[in-house]
């Protein structure tokens, strides 16, 4: 009987022990559950923040940038229409003025003041024509006709086009050897950019000097990622760009030239931007300037 009681007591004690331990275990499980829920919540919050920062925020930025681009394009379209209208209104009277001047000019003898006046009027008409056509190029850029081409092909073409004219003014236009890299561009428009840059370079050379053309592959940070690019460079050993001019370099209608329209660089920048590229430059007063047209490299 004594054995029986002892056994009963031990049974109850062990049961109590088990029950108390079990309730402790349950408490611990609760704590653990709470902790893990907390961790899960923190993880979810972190994940959400990361997703927002890296995925949603850039998308929102893209949407905003897209809208800005759209607004800019809409503005450009209306500016283009306005420019075309203005061009029409100016070109018609210019044609009449040119015709009238042609009729008058026949009556004047070379060497007379009348003849000189007529020549002056003729030159000024040409200047107006240039302003109108440059403004049209700036305000109504044409659609890109992209073709894959060797990076030095447009350089070669503008070199043969402009070298004789520049040589007359003591400026050598040299095409340097370039590695075989390819670009996807509208050749006519890229040549237009090169012509504008080369003319600026030649104008920066007072008496005699050299303008060098080259294409070089590089790695640049474009639109937030490192990209293989090709830089088409126009380097001169001219006067360099003074700081006060540098500030307004890309402003439309800003010019330091007597007969300039101030649209050359604006047109150039617009064309290069449409190619997904950018224009960079380094300049040092009295040593010269190097302009670079950065374009994405194409493979295959």
Partner 1 sequence: MSAAAKILLIEDDPGITNTLQRVLAEEGYEVAVEKRGDNGLARAATEQFHVVISDLKVPGTNGLEIVRQLHAAQPRLPIILVTAYGTTETAIEAMKFGAYDYLLKPFDFPP
Chain residues binding partner 1 by CB under 8 A are 84, 87-88, 91-100, 102-103, 105-106, 125, 129, 142
* Closest CB to partner 1 among residues 143, 177: 143
Q: How far is the CB of 90 from partner 1 (least distance, A)?
A: 8
Q: How far is the CB of 232 from partner 1 (least distance, A)?
A: 24
* Closest CB to partner 1 among residues 93, 170: 93
* Closest CB to partner 1 among residues 187, 256: 187
| 227 three-state secondary structure | strand
Instruction: Compute how many other C-beta atoms are within 10 angstroms of the C-beta atom of residue 283.
Output: 20
Q: How far is the CB of 91 from partner 1 (least distance, A)?
A: 4
* Closest CB to partner 1 among residues 90, 278: 90
Based on the number of CB atoms within 10 Å of its own CB, is 39 exposed (0-12), middle (13-18) or buried (19 or more)? exposed
Q: How far is the CB of 249 from partner 1 (least distance, A)?
A: 29
Q: How far is the CB of 98 from partner 1 (least distance, A)?
A: 5
* Closest CB to partner 1 among residues 94, 278: 94
Q: How far is the CB of 194 from partner 1 (least distance, A)?
A: 19
Tokens for 291? 């302009």
The Cα 298–Cα 145 span in angstroms is: 16
The Cα 22–Cα 14 span in angstroms is: 12
* Closest CB to partner 1 among residues 108, 253: 108
Long-range contacts of 221-230 (CB under 8 A, 24+ apart): 222/276, 222/277, 222/278, 222/294, 222/296, 223/276, 227/296, 227/297, 228/296, 228/297, 228/299, 229/277, 229/294, 229/295, 229/296, 229/297, 230/151, 230/181, 230/182, 230/183, 230/294, 230/295, 230/296, 230/297
């Amino acid at each position: 009987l004594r054995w029986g009681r002892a056994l009963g007591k031990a049974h109850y004690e062990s049961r109590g022990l088990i029950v108390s331990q079990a309730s402790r275990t349950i408490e611990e499980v609760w704590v653990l559950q709470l902790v893990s829920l907390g961790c899960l919540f923190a993880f979810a919050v972190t994940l959400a923040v990361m997703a927002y920062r890296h995925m949603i925020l850039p998308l929102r930025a893209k949407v905003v940038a897209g809208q800005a681009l759209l607004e800019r394009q809409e503005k450009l379209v209306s500016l283009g229409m306005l420019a075309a209208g203005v061009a029409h209104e100016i070109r018609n009277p210019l044609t009449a003025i040119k015709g009238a001047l042609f009729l008058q000019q026949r009556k004047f003898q070379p060497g007379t003041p009348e003849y000189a006046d007529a020549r002056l009027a003729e030159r000024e008409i040409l200047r107006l024509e240039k302003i109108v056509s440059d403004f049209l190029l700036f305000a109504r850029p044409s659609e890109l006709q992209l073709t894959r081409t060797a990076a030095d092909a447009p350089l070669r073409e503008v070199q043969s086009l402009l070298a004789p004219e520049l040589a007359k003014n003591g400026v050598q236009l040299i095409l340097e050897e370039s590695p075989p890299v390819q670009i996807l561009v509208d050749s006519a428009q890229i040549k237009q950019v090169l012509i504008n840059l080369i003319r600026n370079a030649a104008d920066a050379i007072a008496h005699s000097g050299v303008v060098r053309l080259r294409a070089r592959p590089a790695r640049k940070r474009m639109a937030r990622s490192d990209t293989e690019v090709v830089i088409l460079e126009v380097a001169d050993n001219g006067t360099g760009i003074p700081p006060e001019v540098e500030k307004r370099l890309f402003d439309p209608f800003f010019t330091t030239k007597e007969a300039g329209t101030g649209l050359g660089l604006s047109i150039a920048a617009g064309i290069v931007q449409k190619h997904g590229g950018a224009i960079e430059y380094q300049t040092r007063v009295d040593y010269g300037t190097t302009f670079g047209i950065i374009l994405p490299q194409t493979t295959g």
